[in-house]
Amino acid sequence: MPLRSLPPAHRPLADALALGPALLERARSSAAPWIAASLVEGPAVVLGAAQRAGRVVDLAACAARGAPVLRRATTGTAAFLGGRGVVWTLALPHAAALAPDAAARTLLNRNVRGFLRGFARAGAPAHYAGREWISLQHRPAALLGVDVAQDGAVLLEVLAGHDAPPAIPAELAAPDERAVDRWLGKAPAALAEVVPARVSPEALAGVVVEAVALRAGLPLADGGGAPELAVERFQPITAPDDPAPAGAGAAAVARVPIGWIEAAAVGGSSPGHAWLGGDVLTARWLLDALGRGEAPASLDTAAAPLDGAGLADLRALVQRALSAERAPER
């Protein structure tokens, strides 16, 4: 079985993000892994799939700077692209497609290894200590996002800025975002600071793709033409409560190891239902199921990654949001 790839290419940021769902569908239909590298241009902020925009960024400040705020298909934390950058997209038909010992809860640890090898081959020793970022030359430099569908298909995205570090600048960040030390006291780096100058972003994109195949012991095969992209799903965000549904109540927010989680009651035809989101690295279907209040026995949590918060944290926040909605006004 080969690792099918699209050649590294310059793409609008919305197109690069739309590659995620498109390659995930190809991985399903072909029962084979797919990878692509997109060379993109900022400035822009790329939110995780479940992050409420107004908690992470000041949308007015982003607009004034000319930095659109977009959302990717994978969960996790936000990345800033201050100029040139690279987005790697890896889609797998199942968790163990590249690493036979990988399971949902070890998904990132196993599948990030090819990326580490690629950065090292490009001259930037890389390490992964867990959670949401890869360090190059001992500095955080590449951000991870993940999603797992209920059928087991996996989407992994790696985002790195060439000209600016991935941290959201303080003047663009919301107060809750500024309150979190996302980099554990380390100064995040732009690729230009940690990758040798002789290695262009274009070259780095290709080296990493080749290393992912090499680490998996799979031949790299040309995937042919680019898929049709649903770019309308990846247009700039203008509403601070996005992606909470219209009519959701006030958000209940809780601090967790990865940053923040939040929930908001959703009224209408679904009593006892809440939108659940935040910075956690997990499957979107799991957040949706917990928001619906499904009983623990009905959730196959072993099929979903969960990093940065625990199930108990998520359930407690849903109950808090629903209790606040039911509380009588005084």
Domain range summary for the chain, segments of one domain joined by +: 3-234, 252-326
Output the pLDDT for position 328.
47
Q: How far is CA 11 from CA 122, 145, 159, in A?
A: 22, 19, 14
Least confident among 116-130, 182-196, 281-295? 281-295
Mean pLDDT across 54-60: 98
CB 203 within 8 A of CB 122: yes
Residue 130 — very low, low, confident or very high, per pLDDT cuts 50/70/90?
very high
User: pLDDT tens digit string along 35-53?
Assistant: 999 999 999 999 999 999 9
Residue 308's pLDDT is 95
Please check the confidence at residue 330 and state whether its pLDDT lies above 50.
no
CA distances from 252 to 17, 260, 269 (A): 29, 10, 21
Statement: residue 329 has pLDDT above 70:
no
**The architecture CATH gives domain 3-234:** 2-Layer Sandwich (3.30)
Higher pLDDT, 278 or 270: 278
Is pLDDT of 70 > 70? yes
pLDDT at 294: 82
Q: How confident is the model over 74-99, as a mean pLDDT?
A: 97
CB neighbours of 19 closer than 8 A, spacing ≥ 6? Answer: 6, 11, 36, 38, 87, 89, 227, 229
Q: What is the pLDDT of residues 191-246, one digit of tens each?
A: 999 999 999 999 999 999 999 999 999 999 999 888 999 999 999 999 999 999 98
- pLDDT tier, 270 (very low <50, low <70, confident <90, very high otherwise): low
Residue 268: the pLDDT is: 59
pLDDT given at position 43: 98
Radius of gyration of the chain (CA): 19
Mean of pLDDT values over 276-304: 88
Q: CA 271 → CA 93, 182, 249, 265, 323, distances in Å?
A: 35, 35, 13, 9, 12
134, pLDDT greater than 90: yes
pLDDT tier at 297, thresholds 50, 70, 90: low
**Which of 3-12, 80-89, 282-291, 297-306 has the least mean pLDDT?**
297-306
Percent of the chain with pLDDT over 70: 96
Say yes or no to pLDDT of 318 above 80: yes
Tokens found for residue 323: 């209790």
* pLDDT of 327 higher than 50: yes
Place 296 in a pLDDT band, splitting at 50, 70 and 90: low
- Mean pLDDT score of the chain, rounded to an integer? 94
Q: What is the pLDDT of residue 224?
A: 86
Strands (E), the chain: 3-5, 9-10, 34-41, 44-47, 69-71, 79-81, 84-92, 126-127, 133-136, 139-148, 154-161, 220-222, 252-256, 259-266, 273-278, 281-282, 306-307
